[in-house]
Chains A and B, each alone.
Chain A
């Protein structure tokens, strides 16, 4: 069965520190998609990235970067030089056909 594990329940860092959020997934599908969503205090889920299973290239977008490794079934998310505005709950998700399988989320608190 498909499953997403985010072992880190909560992480606290001080501004400007780098932080990595871990995501490990399980699937028997050969074609799948992985996602990261951000849930700020306002409550909505904000799409951050989508990666398909055939594209293992790492991606960088500003201070955000993602490391996809099929060999370890991981899709980790790193924030470089964290800022207070990065404080949120971050969810990793896996697509199963047309529905998303989410992890339990990691709450990131960035202190000034």
Chain B
């Protein structure tokens, strides 16, 4: 079974440009999460989808970030316009619906560098 995949693996852009990150969850996983790790700091939650609905977007840093999950399958995270402080590794995770625990399966991450 394929794991969580993310594209691209690396992205280098200039300040002010737009970047779109993509996450494909494990097939059948209704829950999809975005996290971000800024250099040397903790991995921070950004938002959580249940199918196509945003369940919790309390971690989104500002309105330059837009996440979508049309059709409840893959998700995109767009940063527009990108700023220097947006640099970091963006992780996506997915989880089956239900269950009494929160085992999230993570993708390899997208390393974003804003120059």
Mark A residues whose CB is within 8 Å of B.
Answer: 4, 33, 37, 42-47, 50, 52, 91, 93, 95, 97-105
Residue contact B91 to A45, C-beta cutoff 8 Å = yes
Instruction: State the total of A-B contacts with C-beta under 8 angstroms.
Output: 63
Measured between beta carbons, the chain A residues less than 8 angstroms from B42 are: 4, 91, 101-105
Q: How many residues of B contact A (CB 8 A)?
A: 28
Residue contact A98 to B31, C-beta cutoff 8 Å = yes
Tell me which of A42, A47, A102 contacts B105 (CB under 8 A).
Answer: A47
**CA separation between A54 and B2, bound complex, in Å?**
33
Residue contact A44 to B109, C-beta cutoff 8 Å = yes
**CA separation between A21 and B30, bound complex, in Å?**
33
Nearest CB on A from B36, distance (A): 11
Give the nearest-CB partner of A101 in chain B: B45
Mark B residues whose CB is within 8 Å of A.
Answer: 3, 9, 31, 33, 35, 40-45, 48, 55-56, 59, 89, 91, 93, 101-109, 111
Residue contact A47 to B43, C-beta cutoff 8 Å = no
Quick one: given A44-B107, A44-B109, are A95 and B89 in contact (CB under 8 Å)?
Answer: no
Give the nearest-CB partner of B44 in chain A: A102
Tell me which of A4, A50, A91 contacts B103 (CB under 8 A).
Answer: A50
Tell me which of A45, A50, A91, A105 contacts B101 (CB under 8 A).
Answer: A50
Nearest CB on A from B96, distance (A): 12
Quick one: given A44-B107, A98-B48, A98-B102, are A91 and B55 in contact (CB under 8 Å)?
Answer: no
User: Can you name 18 extra interface pairs (CB under 8 A) apart from A4-B42, A102-B42, A105-B43?
Assistant: A33-B102, A37-B106, A43-B89, A43-B109, A44-B3, A45-B43, A45-B91, A45-B93, A45-B106, A47-B104, A47-B105, A93-B43, A98-B102, A100-B33, A100-B35, A100-B45, A100-B102, A101-B45
